[in-house]
Structure 1
C-alpha cells in the first residue's frame, strides 16, 4: 500500500476514535460532577500507565530521550495537558458542537507553523480545503454565527485556546515521532502532562471512580478515544505532512455526528447536513490530490 494512502487511512481511524471523545467527556462530567482539570489528569495519567507498560514490554530502549529532544517532549507534554483541560472546560461551558467549531481552527495553525518550521508547502489545495472543511464544520455543528444567543463569551474565549494546544502537541509530535516511534513518544508526553497536572488535584473535584458506570465510560475514553486515537494519529504523522494530517482529522465532526445519531438519537438539520457534505468534499479533495514533492 502507498505510504501516503496508509497515512491517510490511519488518520481517519484516529478521527473516528476521537469522535467519541466529546460524548465520553460529557457523560463522565454529567455523572460525576468532576472538574475539567481532574478529568484531564486522570485521562493523561491512565493513558501514560497503559502506554508505558506496552513500551516497557516491547521497546524499553526507546524511552531514553536524547538531550536535543528534551524540550520537544516537555513542550508536547505541556500542550497535551493544556489541551485536555481546555477541551473539557469548553465542552462543559459551550457544549461539544461549539467546541468542535473552535477546535477546527487547529489545521490553520498547524499548516502555517509547519510551513514556517519545516518548509511544508502551503499550497492552494491546502488553503481551499481548510476553508471548505472549516465552513462545513461550522454548519454541521449547528452554531448560528449571525445570532449569539445563548453563547457564553467566557466559554468562547476558553474554547479558542483549544486549537493552539492541539496544534502545539501535533507539531512537537511530528518533530520527534520518527526517532522514537508513536507509542513511546506518546507515553513520555502523557507522563509529562500528568506530572504537570498532579499538583492541582487537591484543589479540584475528583470523579467518583467507585461508580461502575463512570468506570465503564472512562474505560471507553481511555481505550478508544485516547490510547487508540492518539496512537493512530501519531502513526499517521510518520507518513503524511502535519498540515495534511491536521486537516484530514477534522473529519472527526462527521463521525461525532453519526455517533450522536445512533447513541443519542440526534438528527441533523438541513443546514447541518449541507455542512457535513462540505466536510466530505474538502477531505476528499485533499485526500486524492497528488502529494507535494516534499512529502514523497
Structure 2
C-alpha cells in the first residue's frame, strides 16, 4: 500500500544535473519486409518532429500508428530506412543511449530475478558515469527501491510481484541512472488509483527538474496534466503537432439554442471578429477564438441578443474534441 499523497519523494534535482538534450527526428521513413511474402510495409512515413529540451511531450496515436517504432528509432534499437534521428545533434549511439531512461509498456524481466538483481544488471549494462563503483551502485539501488517503496520486496522474485509493483520497478529501472531523457510508454498501465497518483507525482518531479520527457499514452487526461507539447501519429504520419504556447490566450464560447445561420447573422449584424473554428453539438454551438478579446466581444453580443451562454473558458492543446478528430482522421495512402 502506498502512503498518502504528499509523503512520497519525487526524484531530487542535483545541482550538477546536466542540461537536457534536444531530440530531432528528421524526414524519417521506416520500411520493414515480410519474411514470408517479402512484402514492404511502411511503418513510419516521412516523419519530422522535434522533442525540445526540458519539455514534456505527448506522443499519441492508435495501436499501429507508429509510436513504438518511433521510440525504437530514438533508442537506436532500429535504424531508419530514410532520414535521421539525432540527440544533441549526434547520431544515436552508446553515449546517447546512456542519456535515456526507458519505461516500456510491458517490461519483459525474467520472473526468477529479484528487484535488486534487476537494477544491478541494469547498471552493469548501462555503466552510467558516477555509478560504476560498487558502493555507489549499491547505494543508488537502495535509494531507488526505497523511492518506489519496493525496498521491503527487494529479494522477492519479480514473477511474484503484483502488476502495480512491477510498474514501480520499471520506473526505478528507467530512472536509477538519472537520465536527461525519459521515455514512458503507457506509464499508468495496470496501476490502481493510488499507484496512478504516485506515478503522476514522480513524472511531475522529473518534469520540474528540466528533463526531456516523451510520454506515450491513450489517456488524454494524463497527457493533458503532464505534457507541454502534443504530437499525434496516424498510420505512421504526423497529423497534429502543437505546443502550449500555440494556444496561449485561446478561448472557447459555447452558445445554446442557436444554429449556424443565426451565428453568421449575429457576426454580420454586430460586426464581430472571425472565430477560428465552429462545432455543432446538439442544440449548442462551440466557437473557438485565438484570443480572449474576440471571445468576450462575441459573448457580450450573444447576451445582448438573449442567447444563452453555456460556457466560456480557455482552450487547451489537449482539448479532447481536437485530439479525437485527429485520432479518427482517415489519411490518404
Q: TM-score, normalised by structure 2?
A: 0.24
Relative contact order (alpha carbons < 8 A, sep ≥ 6): 1 or 2 greater?
A: 1
Structure in which a larger fraction of residues adopt helix = 1
Structure in which a larger fraction of residues adopt strand = 2
The structure having more radius of gyration, on CA atoms, is 2
